[in-house]
Amino acid sequence: MIFDTGILNIKARISDLRLKYNLDIETEMVKHENKYGRKCVFGQWKLTNKETAYELYLKLQKND
């Protein structure tokens, strides 16, 4: 993730998107078994309204 986006703290960025930009983002906790057979849980996020998110993206790109 960090190599693709440059984001160090993904949970903080998700919180920014929710609070500062009022985006609806769902969180789903996914249970998984790692390669050592240990159970682990991680969060998976989804945008509920992609059109609104895309409009915000275009607006932010214009400001840069």
Task: Identify the sign of the CA torsion 4, 5, 9, 12.
Answer: negative
Instruction: Please count the structural domains in the chain.
Output: 1
Is residue 6 predicted with pLDDT exceeding 90?
no
Paired with 53 in beta bridges are none
Residue span of the structural domain in which 35 resides = 2-63
Paired with 31 in beta bridges are 41
The C-alpha atoms of residue 41 and residue 31 are separated, in whole angstroms, by: 5
> Can you tell me which residue has the tokens 């790109």?
61
* pTM across the whole model: 0.68
Q: Are 54 and 23 in contact (CB under 8 A)?
A: no
Amino acid at 60: L
Query: What digits encode the pLDDT tens for the residues 14-43?
Result: 999 999 999 999 999 999 999 999 999 998
